[in-house]
Structure 1
Amino acid sequence: MTEILNADPAELAKFSELAHRWWDLESEFRPLHEINPLRLEWIDGIAPLTGLRVLDVGCGGGILTDSMARKGADVLGIDLAGRALKVAQLHALEARTHGVAYREVSVESLAAEQPGTFDVVTCMEMLEHVPQPASVVKACADLAKPGGWIFFSTIHRNAKAFLFAILGAEYVLGLLPRGTHEYQKMIRPSELAAHCRAAGLDLRQTRGMEYSPLTRRYWLSGDTSVNYMFATRKPERV
């Protein structure tokens, strides 16, 4: 089968260069470690993960993937950054995490190969890094079983998001490496909602994620003006 690629080589190279630091809690990936419990509990609260077949799209070094497996799910993490996947695989071995596997394959190719396979599909902090986010959303929908849940997280495209997510997080506070995000690739909630509708998904819940530089604390809220998450569901067969 011909591999379907919807990826920016520069983005893959950027994350591959940092791959060895993925599980360093004081590295550039510290924010992902700090927000992971919040997003994990949100996902598990909507679709209890124990015993479910789960796909983590754009898994990187496996922070969310590993934690979902530890909730009792059978998880496959996929990414196109090979070095990050090797780090994820090594961590799973060292941490003795059961029920987790990794594969270097695009979500579109996997959707053509294994449609309707997963109870839950997660795609977190990835859509703003690909050339065609609508293609990823459609593939995620295709991979879910009827009645399955699909979760997305990304960043709004507006002045506040530019101020907080790029200038603040990357240049002032140094929470992320400079150049992590490109403003033009950010996605408005209305745009992501349109992609979900086009893919046949029902939007069930939205949540925002906020951060205080004073307390260095993250929390979930109803404010989707910067970082936000969607919980969507694939309709049952009629």
Structure 2
Amino acid sequence: MTSESSTQTRQQNVDAAEIDKFSQLAHKWWDKESEFKPLHDINPLRLQFIDDHASLAGKKVLDVGCGGGILTEALAGRSASATGIDMAKKSLKIAQLHALEEKVGNVHYRLVSVEDLAAETPAQYDVVTCMEMLEHVPDPASIVRACAHLAKPGGWLFFSTINRNPKSYLQAVVAAEYLLQLMPRGTHDYQKFITPAELGRMCRQAGLDWAASSGLTYNPLSRQYHLCTNLDVNYMIACRKPTAA
């Protein structure tokens, strides 16, 4: 497991404030009772959604915007060869340290933008995941295009984000950040939320075929997350890159 840096990026599709925000919380990534508790809670659900479609065992997988490695390690735990990339150095250090502590050998981390990696190693991955990231960058369509470029023909791609409507504002911002305090205030910018129609258009423009979708819902009484068919708030999609003609 090594770390490499990319200092010359073709496109700086990052928000410095977002990087700083997550860097300040980096030491808490693996604390399941911290601000990252929601990510730990939904991780088994999103992992199963991915594995059900892509059959991870033996696959070469890329986790874009991996943060502290919560999903990346889980992907490796399904016998995949997993690489996680992020632009937050502190988060990557935590990811590397945790993998060492847990003796996870089939995981690799890099400090590199997805656009730069796509230019460097196109069509190299059986599975590409980009979860809870698109709503934190200036140009989400660029991320989707780069992910599509990184996937092999016939490969699977998975994206998750938050829908943009009054219900999502009330649940993902007002309730989650202020009333239930599931995450720090200011975690999300409602204006950056992405509707399924918008994400679908980004995927089509990147040459991807939408294959499946699932919503994620939170029960404040049981304090548990569940998959659902409703995409009103948090949702995930599975796409397929067409095979070469």
- TM-score using structure 2 length: 0.96
The amino acid of 1:183's aligned partner reads Y
Q: Can you list the C-alpha shifts for 1:111-146, whole angstroms capped at 9, x where unaligned?
A: 000000000000000000000000000000000000
1:68 aligns with 2:75: yes
Distance in 2 (CA, whole Å) between partners of 1:5 and 1:62 is 22
- 1:185-196 matches, cutoff 5 A: 185-196=192-203
Distance in 2 (CA, whole Å) between partners of 1:215 and 1:70 is 27
Match of 1:85 among 85, 92, 108: 92
Match of 2:149 among 139, 142, 149: 142
Between the two proteins, the alignment pairs up a number of residues equal to 238
Listed as ranges, the gaps of 5+ residues in structure 1 are: none
1:12 aligns with 2:19: yes
**How far is the alpha carbon of 1:214 from its aligned partner?**
0.5
Aligned CA RMSD, in angstroms, stands at 0.7
Q: Can you list the C-alpha shifts for 1:5-60, whole angstroms capped at 9, x where unaligned?
A: 20000000000000000000110000000000000011001111110000000000
Q: Secondary structure at the match of 1:12?
A: helix
Q: Percent identity between the aligned chains?
A: 61
Q: Is the 8 A contact 1:60 1:79 kept in 2?
A: yes
Q: Is the 8 A contact 1:21 1:28 kept in 2?
A: yes
Give the equivalent residue in structure 1 for 2:35. Answer: 28
More deviation, 74-83/1-10: 1-10
**How far is the alpha carbon of 1:201 from its aligned partner?**
0.2
- TM-score using structure 1 length: 0.99
The amino acid of 2:225's aligned partner reads Y
**How far is the alpha carbon of 1:98 from its aligned partner?**
1.8
Distance in 2 (CA, whole Å) between partners of 1:25 and 1:121 is 25
Distance in 2 (CA, whole Å) between partners of 1:25 and 1:132 is 30
Match of 2:54 among 29, 39, 47: 47
Give the equivalent residue in structure 1 for 2:187. Answer: 180
1:203 aligns with 2:229: no
The amino acid of 2:45's aligned partner reads L
Give the equivalent residue in structure 2 for 1:125. Answer: 132
Listed as ranges, the gaps of 5+ residues in structure 2 are: 1-5
**How far is the alpha carbon of 1:166 from its aligned partner?**
0.3
Q: Is the 8 A contact 1:60 1:88 kept in 2?
A: yes
Q: Can you list the C-alpha shifts for 1:46-94, whole angstroms capped at 9, x where unaligned?
A: 1111100000000000000001001100010000000000000000000
1:213 aligns with 2:237: no
Distance in 2 (CA, whole Å) between partners of 1:71 and 1:202 is 25
Distance in 2 (CA, whole Å) between partners of 1:199 and 1:41 is 25
Q: Is the 8 A contact 1:70 1:98 kept in 2?
A: no
Q: Can you list the C-alpha shifts for 1:148-195, whole angstroms capped at 9, x where unaligned?
A: 000000000100000000000000000011000000000011000000
Give every structure 1 segment of 4 or more consecutive aligned residues whose post-TM-superposition deviation is greater than 2 Å.
none
Q: Secondary structure at the match of 1:68?
A: helix
